[in-house]
């Protein structure tokens, strides 16, 4: 592996891409520490320290994770790339619902360019909405509950508008940086920015465990973390390979086809999307309660005690059920067995022992439903692992802030594998030995 790194850095083109990617990552982390104008940085730090000391669970824990802790700092890049992720998911879902979007998807590069433009417009709209909500909660003292000092001393309308504009511009800047990394760097730019945000929190979280619970607990947690990462890598690489045979065809004077290949179906076909959706829905009632301003009602206390609290069995059961549901839902809208069967039939492909057409679609749907169940259960188990770790370490904050399980480890492993594969493919093109064998 070290030899592959040396080969990558010895190639001028590949070295330039790697250095460009690292430079953009450094700029991103630098921007995440710059406070927005009109925000009192010392007061924000005092409120964050007080919030961590109380062990409070924030409704924005998942968004704070994706921004590398910049959200609760109210920095220029506090929104992170969450608006872009949300808009991308919405546009992808609308491709199934709206015929126009589905037609654009089938038009190739030109249609994809229009969908990308729609995603950008929706990202700006969501960034404005999210920035307005964050600033409103900060001014009303509900972003840092229990903090007595104001994080925005000047709550005039003009100052609040400036903060919203700056945060929205930061989200647009990150979207541009992510696209630049994808175009001129290595790997998917948006995914690498998420990876950087999550990785930036690991040293601090590990240091807190070591300081508060000693070397023994830290070593146990570290061993469990290594075992979890190895398990995630193994399952993320697992796939069901369905054999596909292509019949021979005469086109002009040449013979085509007659080859054997396979159709890979991943065990975790849905990726990390079900975990994100499940987390968002579980925290949505708390967000609505905060916006309504009624914190002492019986419904709000019930939500905080049984739904939001990670020590509640109701929370764990609901979380698992939502992940399983969204896993099946997302797989059903992203993988169409009938469309895949029609494509195979069009090019003369068939599954041995299965007739082309509808029988092939039914077979693919059956296999997909069978492998989605263990994939969804795997996602659910990984997602609730932080509850176990937090009970050992007496952890603080929401489960999404814990770096050794849940959404964090899933995203980091997936992005890491994808980036390594891209570097390995470029090394293979230049006849170098890659990372993966």
- 431 burial (CB, 10 Å; 0-12 / 13-18 / 19+) is exposed
| CA separation, residue 437 to residues 1, 213, 238, 420, 426 (Å) | 10, 40, 15, 12, 14
The residue ranking higher by pLDDT, 209 or 98, is 98
Phi, psi dihedral angles at 244 (to 5 degrees):
-130, 130
- Per residue in 350-386, pLDDT (tens digit) is 888 888 888 889 999 999 989 999 989 998 888 887 7
Distances (CA, A) of 283 to 58, 62, 300, 304, 353: 9, 9, 12, 10, 48
Model confidence over 250-288: pLDDT tens digits? 666 666 666 778 888 888 888 888 887 887 777 777 666
Residue ranges of the domains in the chain?
A: 15-200, 205-404
Write down the pLDDT at residue 97.
Answer: 81
The pLDDT assigned to 165 comes to 93
pLDDT of 67 reads: 65
pLDDT-derived band at 33 (thresholds 50, 70, 90) equals confident
pLDDT of 122 higher than 90: yes
**In the predicted structure, residue 402 carries a pLDDT above the cut 60:** no
Dihedral of CA atoms 48, 52, 55, 58 in degrees, nearest 10, equals 40
Which residues, listed in sequence order, are joined to residue 249 by a DSSP beta bridge?
A: 256
DSSP helix/strand/coil, 207 = helix
Q: What would you measure as the largest C-alpha separation in the chain, in angstroms?
A: 83
| Angstrom distance (rounded) from CA 421 to CA 9 | 16
Query: Which three-class secondary structure state does DSSP give residue 64?
Result: helix
pLDDT, one tens digit per residue, over 53-94 is 554 445 556 666 666 666 677 888 888 888 888 888 888 888
As a whole number of angstroms, the distance between CA 310 and CA 313 comes to 8
CA dihedral 52, 57, 63, 67 (to 10 degrees): 10
CATH architecture group of domain 205-404: Orthogonal Bundle (1.10)
15-200 architecture in CATH? Orthogonal Bundle (1.10)
E strand or H helix at 350, and its extent? strand 349-350
Segment 179-202 shows an average pLDDT of: 84
For residue 395, the model assigns a pLDDT of 47
Query: How much is the average pLDDT of 321-348?
Result: 86
CA 324 to chain centre: 17
**CA torsion through residues 69, 74, 75, 79, sign:** positive
- pTM of the complete model: 0.77
Q: Is the Cβ–Cβ distance between 276 and 419 less than 8 Å?
A: no
Helix (H/G/I), strand (E/B), else coil: 35: strand
Which alpha helices (H) appear in 98-238, and where do they start and end?
99-106, 109-139, 157-184, 189-199, 202-237
pLDDT of residue 399: 41
pLDDT band at 401 (very low <50, low <70, confident <90, very high): very low
Band (pLDDT 50/70/90 cuts) for residue 172 is very high
Cβ neighbours around 420 below 10 Å, total: 17
> Is 429 in contact with 10 (CB distance < 8 Å)?
no
HSE-CB at 147 with a 13 A cutoff on CA atoms is 27
Best-predicted range by mean pLDDT among 176-180, 212-216, 410-414, 420-424?
A: 176-180
Strand boundaries in 202-312, DSSP class E: 239-246, 249-251, 254-256, 260-266
Tell me if 270 sits within 8 A of 375, measured CB to CB.
Answer: yes
Q: Are 140 and 15 in contact (CB under 8 A)?
A: no
Mean pLDDT of 221-233: 83
Fold match between 15-200 and 205-404? yes
């Amino acid at each position: 592996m070290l030899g592959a790194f040396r080969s990558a850095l010895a190639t001028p083109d590949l070295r330039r891409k790697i250095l460009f990617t690292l430079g953009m990552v450094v700029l991103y982390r630098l921007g995440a520490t710059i406070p927005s104008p009109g925000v009192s940085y010392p007061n924000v730090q005092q409120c964050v320290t007080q919030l961590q000391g109380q062990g409070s669970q924030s409704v924005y824990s998942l968004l704070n994770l994706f921004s590398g802790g910049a959200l609760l700092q109210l920095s220029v890049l506090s929104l992170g790339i969450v608006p872009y992720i949300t808009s991308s998911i919405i546009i992808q879902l609308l491709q199934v619902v709206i015929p126009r979007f589905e037609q654009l998807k089938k038009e190739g590069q030109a249609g994809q360019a229009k969908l990308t433009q729609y995603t950008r417009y929706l990202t700006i709209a969501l960034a404005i909405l999210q920035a307005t909500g964050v600033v409103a909660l900060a001014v009303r003292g509900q972003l840092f509950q229990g903090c007595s000092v104001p994080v925005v001393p000047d709550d005039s309308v003009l100052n609040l508008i400036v903060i919203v504009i700056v945060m929205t511009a930061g989200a647009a800047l990150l979207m541009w940086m992510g696209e630049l990394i994808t175009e001129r760097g290595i790997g998917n730019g948006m995914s690498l920015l998420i990876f950087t945000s999550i990785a930036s929190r690991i040293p601090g979280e590990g240091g807190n465990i070591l300081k508060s619970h000693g070397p023994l607990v830290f070593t146990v947690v570290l061993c469990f973390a290594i075992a979890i990462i190895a398990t995630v890598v193994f399952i993320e690489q697992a796939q069901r390979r369905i054999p596909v045979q292509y019949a021979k065809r005469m086109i002009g004077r040449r013979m085509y086809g007659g080859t054997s290949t396979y159709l890979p179906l991943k065990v975790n076909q849905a990726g990390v999307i079900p975990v994100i959706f499940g987390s968002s829905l579980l925290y949505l009632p708390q967000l609505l309660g905060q916006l309504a301003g009624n914190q002492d009602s019986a419904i709000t206390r019930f939500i905080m005690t049984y739904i939001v609290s990670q020590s509640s069995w109701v929370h764990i059961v609901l979380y698992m059920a939502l992940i399983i549901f969204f896993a099946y839902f997302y797989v059903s809208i992203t993988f169409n067995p009938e469309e895949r069967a029609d494509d195979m039939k069009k090019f003369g492909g068939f599954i041995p022992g299965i007739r082309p057409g509808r029988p092939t679609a039914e077979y693919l749907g059956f296999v997909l439903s069978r492998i989605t169940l263990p994939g969804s259960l795997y996602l659910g188990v990984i997602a609730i692992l932080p509850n176990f770790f937090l009970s050992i370490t007496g952890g603080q904050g929401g489960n999404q802030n814990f770096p050794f399980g849940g959404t964090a480890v899933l995203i980091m492993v997936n992005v890491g594998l994808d980036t390594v594969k891209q570097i390995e493919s470029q090394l293979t093109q230049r006849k170098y030995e890659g990372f993966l064998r």
